[in-house]
Structure 1
């Protein structure tokens, strides 16, 4: 079991919940930012997971743009952005922290140091599932959207995602996005 203490009512977990917790236990980071993300009680319909490693040149524009797209196209849903900082040695972390109070979408930053973009993305996905389990939210109603720190989203794509997401839990929209110059 992960080192985060679960309330007593969580000891009867479904097989799916047990599997997520077992997988997450192998690499769970027990730090204050991760714990704060998990313990926040707000239920999110969509969690946008963005791995970041030394993206100081792109991350502010990407997060501002993504927040605007979310507010415009997903305003009827509860959404958040989860940035998984993969050990950045530049000012990416400071930029993200500074934006957290300036954009209209909840923005969380957690650390998963230097294990690669794929591992950071998986950590964000599993962390989102652990958060849902912790609060007894329905895992099947939460949608995780993976994107990159230097990626912009075409207008209308997030609206389109809501019609597709009835059948999926994790989406990677890389083929529908375009890179910032």
Structure 2
């Protein structure tokens, strides 16, 4: 299986280089299980995002001028050549073994159309990090067992043919709820796996900027809104850079 790694990036000059170094190190470790491709979707950036991405010869840079996370994700679907499309955020630091675990999950479960897992935060205080771990274990995992679908936007991989069958990403969704939307719709055509061992370290910048409790509640409310009403409840969002 060829795997395409797709990284939407809007004004990410402060984080993108570190993200790509971790990605390319993991690609090198897993090279025997490739082929892999790495694509940065430069999503209407006004800073040095495209220049930084272009400084990595192994990375393909694609510009999507229509700003918005789901527009960037959809452009990645159109541009990628892989059978498996993995989406991560530009402020992540891919963990050792992430790619191997994704491929192992797909080999073990031929019925899987999407695999995802939790975030950890590499720049969050220890006490709050412990709360995050409890959240995934005590709330998120039982919720997944009930709904049978869950995806984290910066930590999931989906089969191309399944994404195409459901019409790709809903570009009417600006930000909140977009990951639950794609998980819910993919669950209609196959199995969505949520694996607590598929961990993606990411930045806590939104938690720090908007407040730990406020941000957590906003994600929970939009998850439930997608589950019950099949649409997110929050349309407005703010870019945190």
Q: TM-score range by the shorter chain?
A: 0.5 to 0.7
* TM-score after normalising by structure 1: 0.60
Consecutive unaligned residues in structure 2, runs of 5 or more: 118-154, 156-197, 205-241
Question: What secondary structure does 2:33 align onto?
Answer: coil
Q: How many residues are paired up?
A: 122
Root-mean-square deviation (CA, aligned residues, Å) is 2.2
- Ranked by relative contact order (alpha carbons within 8 Å, sequence separation 6 or more), the top structure is 1
Note the alpha carbon deviations across 1:4-26, whole angstroms, 9 max, x for none. xxxxxxxxxxxxxxxxxxxxxxx
Residues 145-164 of structure 1: pairs in structure 2 closer than 5 A: 145-164=86-105
* Structure showing greater Rg: 2
Partner of 1:25: none
* TM-score after normalising by structure 2: 0.46
Tell me how far apart the structure 1 counterparts of residues 115 and 85 of structure 2 sit (CA, whole Å): 6
Give the stretch that moved more between structures: 50-59 or 167-176: 167-176
Whether the aligned pair in 2 keeps the contact of 1:145 and 1:171 (CA below 8 Å) is no
Residues 32-43 of structure 1: pairs in structure 2 closer than 5 A: none
Deviation at 1:162, TM superposition (A): 1.0
Tell me how far apart the structure 2 counterparts of residues 72 and 124 of structure 1 sit (CA, whole Å): 24
Tell me how far apart the structure 2 counterparts of residues 95 and 147 of structure 1 sit (CA, whole Å): 17
Consecutive unaligned residues in structure 1, runs of 5 or more: 1-43, 101-105, 133-141
Partner of 1:144: 85
Note the alpha carbon deviations across 1:125-151, whole angstroms, 9 max, x for none. 1322xx57xxxxxxxxx1111101111
Matched, 1:91 2:73: no
